[in-house]
Amino acid sequence: MPAELAAWLRQQRQARGWARPEMARQLIRAGQEAGDKSVPGLDSMCHNLYRWERGEDTPSERYQLHYCRALAIPPSQFGTAPPPPPGTLPPQRTATTESGSPAAALPAPAPHPAPNPAGPFLPLPAAIAYGGMQQPATDHSSIKQEVLMGAHEASDQAQQAEQHGIGQATSEQLRADVVRLSHLTDTGEPFTVYLDLRRVRERIYRLLERPLWPREQTDLHFLLGCLNGLMAVCARRLGYPDAAEELSRAGWAHASVIDHRPLLAHLRYQLSYVEYLRGRTIQSRDLAASGLEYLSAGPGGAELYLKHAQAAATLGDADTARQSVIAAHEARSQEHHDDLQDIGHSFTLSLATHHSDAGRALSAVPGAEGQAAEELQRAIGLYDAGPDPGEEHWFGGKALAGIDLAVVRLRSGALDAATAALGNVFSLAPAQRVSQLTHQLSLVRAELAAPVFRGSAPARELDEQIEEFGRETADAGLHSLSGGPG
């Protein structure tokens, strides 16, 4: 049935002359008109379409209803309705404004593509671009999606051509995908990256069903451990700790199969992070200590020491927290290299994030506020200077350091300095307003509720800004994933 439905979905779209981005727009519009508040953006919807039209997944019931609205067919005919006859157009659907008044209707797409000057296998927008003709209706996102889908199809076809084992082309592409996605985990929108991570992971799952050489199996388990770890980061940032825990443990299983100690240490760090956000501070401390048994040098060891310090400080163990911060600085200065660092990006703690995490841990130690502020200010300066070669600055790093610095400043009554520290936070796009930021901002609001700030208009205004910031966050969208976290 999935194969038949996939073919039907393609036929319906192609009969209307719609490229995937246009079909995605029609579904998004149909969802919005139906009052669906969690319909994803264009990039994510195009990813869904790619999977549905290949039979890799089936549209959920709500998406089936959106399809029926977009295609102007009754729900009872979903999956069975014949494509529209040649020369007919679907009814032109008029968008409405928020007030309910009609907006300008989008032009209906042509029922059949015009002759393709670049050959039968290029979508018309790409063909026009090749021919040097103007195509005002095709935006950058549309071209990007068509190019990406074509690349994905080429990779899948190459995989099928390599009948025995994996083959060098597939192996190199998979590793390149993981490196690219590790970079995007720190710089892109978490939900969109999550979808791409899952696509690559499912491709590797299919490869593991083949007869493989032991070395090939080892490589695939390593990549799966990395991918699940990156998906855990995205799920955590989107506010799904249960999914982040499950993904981290899945990654741990793959890392355990090949006894990859640096990866095991990193996944222990991920679990420690999740447990801390849940308020399970003792478990967070113990998981960080467990991770240090696998790796205690280099950036990987440093991040575990810093998470251990933060948990110890929260538990009131100031001496252990201070000692762990010192140990983290020493681990950072040690020479260390492993193949996890070859993946880089999300798997390598930058110096800026190192000092930011140190400042966050020390901010919970009584009497260490001055040292915490120094660490956080150094982190912000490093973020401003940009990453060193081989490093990556994640999109929320500077904002998070600014929030932590604001908390320290408010504890000393310095409202103006706290407001200045938050200057770069409120400009973040909604898709990058991840759970760590909103969680830490709640600590700022708690400090603003202190008696010293009562009746202060600037304090009230700052509190209102924080509340407004939290109304649009990055946690929408994963609910629509079939089999995804939630």
Chain segment 34-80, per-residue pLDDT in tens: 887 777 788 778 878 888 888 878 888 888 989 999 999 998 899 99
pLDDT-derived band at 306 (thresholds 50, 70, 90) equals very high
CA distance 3 to 7: 6
CA distance 45 to 25: 8
Q: pTM value?
A: 0.65
Q: Which of 271, 284, 275, 197 is nearest to 234 (CA)?
A: 197
DSSP letter for 216, please.
Answer: H
pLDDT in tens, 206-240: 898 888 888 999 999 999 999 999 999 999 988 88
Conformation bin of residue 182: beta by default, left when phi > 0, alpha when psi is -120 to 50:
alpha
Give the range among 117-121, 232-236, 243-247, 415-419 with minimum mean pLDDT. Answer: 117-121
CA distance 272 to 47: 31
pLDDT in tens, 147-165: 555 555 555 544 454 455 5
For residue 96, the cross-strand partners are 102
pLDDT in tens, 329-366: 999 998 888 888 888 788 888 999 999 999 999 999 99
